[in-house]
């Protein structure tokens, strides 16, 4: 237990901002993981609930796309304050429109008349939601990998427990309470003044982004597949026939069990968590839901839907940790990386919901179509597992190019030259400082920027500053070029 120390939170404001993720997670449980919030005014039917969730996801995707395409590089505090103001206005508008639509729907006989307004409000709310998530998770760059993982797991445990307590509230309070948690999470960001500054220090270059995505494409592929499966299961599992209380209990207890297991596993490990192995568990969890689908259907409180959602949630948690670590290691801006990762995740879930909704009427318990869907889904998940884990490259945080470069370097060593000798030759030829000489040795051995900072007891920003100077002196742009240069011997400057 003693290893769970958020030692790298150097400012109290960062603690408030990260605690905001717990508050946000409670809101997300009420609005996304079950129809708790929108059932607070009137019992919505299947179609209304579906379009509400579709509008929310569409707003989320649009918000993440905006963050991906138009990241802010400015460090002035007023820009961060303006962004928070915009999020606040959008969220307030979304909650007001959704609340009014829910209120009026109980006064009219035709719920379809208020459905467009409900969807408009949900879309606006989804956009504000995306901005809040990116802002909250961007703070994890200040943490180590293990602490980021532990914080996300513990935050979700607290959020699930809080959500379970809130399910006992009168239904008419559910939506206002969800709004309260959202604005409390948003208020936590006001305590942090460092976001824009940290973002401005990131490197906006094509080589930097290529290096980041060379390490992210496989986990993104897995998350997109599991997101599609979760969205599909949500529509074909007959969830609308399950009592809300049973659905809530199934969701709460399955989620709580998953996060507790993740916490125990992490605390039992003395070193960094192996995210690759944890990610692998998400695929069989999702596969179990489809194996049980023809047998269980919507019995046991919708447990099959819970399993599919758990697989997606687990993969998304691992992807979040991986994105933050890659941003911290490569110097790539974390906001657009998070935005792109979450666009992939929720766009695939959106697609799965659309496909499931269009075909739900032809699917029922005991039908041949249901059995075929279950078998095909299990087959696809098996193929996905083989594709993602055909080698060990995904388990670590190294690019395949770094692994190849390290192998190339070892072959060079076999010919008689050591890493230190190669690096010293390059350093001497290009006029490196003593600190640059130390850093290039570690980089040549395949160490990450984070590992170099820990070995030399200096900040990562300092390491990145020296790496940039090293690249300029060598006339290169990527770590792979550096490793190739070390493996091949001293080269003349390229300009």
If one compares 381 and 182, the residue with the highest pLDDT of the two is 182
Mean pLDDT of 125-151: 86
Task: Give the count of beta carbons closer than 10 Å to the beta carbon of residue 94.
Answer: 25
Q: What is the DSSP string of 43-107?
A: ---HHHHHHHHHHHHHHHHHHHHHHHHS------HHHHHHHHHHHHHHHHHHHHHHHHHHHHHTT
Using CA atoms, how far apart are residues 27 and 21, in angstroms rounded to an integer? Answer: 10
Q: Look over the chain and give the mean of its residue pLDDT values, rounded to a whole number.
A: 77
Percent of the chain with pLDDT over 70: 73
Predicted pLDDT of residue 271: 63
- φ/ψ bin of 301: left (φ > 0), alpha (ψ from -120 to 50), beta (otherwise): left
C-alpha distances (whole Å) from 94 to each of 48, 158, 237, 331, 426 are 17, 26, 29, 35, 58
Band of residue 328 on the pLDDT scale cut at 50, 70, 90? confident
Q: Is the confidence at residue 250, as pLDDT, over 90?
A: no
Structure tokens at 286: 């999702």
Predicted pLDDT of residue 197: 43
Predicted pLDDT of residue 432: 86
Using CA atoms, how far apart are residues 361 and 65, in angstroms rounded to an integer? Answer: 32
If one compares 101 and 34, the residue with the highest pLDDT of the two is 101
Mean pLDDT of 470-481: 84
Q: Is the confidence at residue 239, as pLDDT, over 60?
A: no
pTM for this structure? Answer: 0.76
If one compares 167 and 112, the residue with the highest pLDDT of the two is 167
Tens digit of pLDDT for each residue in 42-65? 555 677 788 888 999 999 999 999
Predicted pLDDT of residue 126: 93
Predicted pLDDT of residue 227: 92
- φ/ψ bin of 106: left (φ > 0), alpha (ψ from -120 to 50), beta (otherwise): alpha
Which of 35-44, 202-211, 321-330 comes out lowest in average pLDDT?
Answer: 35-44
Count Cβ atoms within 10 A of the Cβ of residue 233 and give its class: 0-12 exposed, 13-18 middle, 19 or more buried. Answer: buried
Angle at 18 between CA 171 and CA 24, to 5 degrees: 20
Predicted pLDDT of residue 75: 47
Predicted pLDDT of residue 144: 74
Q: Which residues contact 179 (CB under 8 A, 6 or more apart)?
A: 27, 95, 99
Predicted pLDDT of residue 123: 95
CB 357 within 8 A of CB 235: yes
Task: Name the range with the highest mean pLDDT among 32-46, 114-128, 179-193.
Answer: 114-128
- Residue 14 C-beta-side C-alpha neighbours within 13 Å: 18
If one compares 142 and 110, the residue with the highest pLDDT of the two is 142
């Amino acid at each position: 237990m003693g290893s769970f120390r958020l030692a790298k939170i150097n400012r109290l404001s960062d603690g408030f901002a990260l605690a905001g993720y717990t508050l946000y997670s409670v809101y997300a449980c009420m609005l996304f993981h079950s129809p708790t919030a929108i059932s607070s005014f009137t019992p919505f039917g299947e179609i209304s609930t579906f379009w509400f969730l579709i509008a929310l996801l569409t707003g989320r995707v649009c918000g993440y796309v905006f963050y991906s395409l138009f990241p802010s590089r400015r460090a002035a505090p007023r820009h961060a304050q303006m962004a928070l103001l915009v999020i606040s206005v959008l969220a307030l508008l979304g909650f007001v429109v959704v609340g009014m639509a829910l209120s009026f729907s109980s006064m009219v006989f035709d719920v379809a008349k208020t459905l467009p307004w409900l969807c408009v409000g949900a879309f606006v709310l989804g956009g504000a939601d995306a901005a809040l998530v990116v802002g909250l998770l961007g703070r994890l760059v200040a943490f180590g990998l293990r602490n980021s993982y532990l914080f996300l797991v513990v935050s979700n445990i607290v959020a699930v427990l809080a959500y379970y307590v809130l399910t006992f509230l009168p239904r008419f309070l559910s939506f206002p309470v969800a709004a309260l948690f959202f604005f409390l999470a948003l208020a936590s960001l006001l305590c942090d003044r460092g976001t824009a500054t940290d973002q401005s220090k990131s490197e906006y270059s094509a080589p930097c982004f290529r290096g980041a995505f060379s390490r992210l494409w496989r986990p993104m592929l897995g998350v997109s597949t599991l997101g599609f499966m979760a969205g599909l299961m949500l529509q074909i599992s007959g969830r609308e026939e399950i009592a809300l209380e049973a659905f809530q209990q199934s969701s709460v207890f399955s989620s709580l069990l998953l996060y507790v297991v993740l916490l125990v596993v992490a605390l039992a490990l003395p070193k960094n968590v192996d995210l690759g192995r944890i990610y692998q568990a998400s695929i069989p969890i999702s596969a179990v839901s489809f194996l049980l689908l023809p047998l269980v259907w919507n019995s046991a409180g919708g447990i099959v839907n819970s399993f599919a959602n758990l697989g997606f949630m687990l993969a998304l948690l691992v992807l979040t940790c991986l994105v933050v670590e890659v941003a911290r290691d490569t110097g790539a801006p974390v906001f657009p990386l998070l935005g792109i990762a979450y666009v992939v995740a929720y766009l695939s879930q959106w697609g799965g919901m659309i496909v499931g909704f269009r075909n739900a009427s032809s699917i029922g318990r005991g039908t041949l179509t249901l059995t075929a869907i279950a078998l095909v889904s299990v087959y696809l998940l098996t193929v996905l597992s083989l594709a993602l884990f055909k080698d060990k490259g995904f388990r670590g945080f190294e690019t395949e190019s770094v692994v190849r470069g390290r192998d190339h370097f070892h072959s060079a060593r076999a010919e008689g030259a050591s890493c230190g000798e190669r690096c010293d030759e390059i350093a001497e030829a290009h006029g490196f400082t003593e600190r640059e000489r130390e850093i290039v040795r570690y980089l040549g051995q395949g160490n990450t920027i984070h590992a170099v900072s820990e070995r030399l007891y200096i900040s990562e920003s300092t390491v990145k500053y020296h790496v940039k100077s090293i690249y300029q002196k060598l006339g290169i742009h990527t770590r792979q070029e550096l490793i190739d240069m070390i493996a091949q011997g001293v080269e003349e400057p390229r300009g």
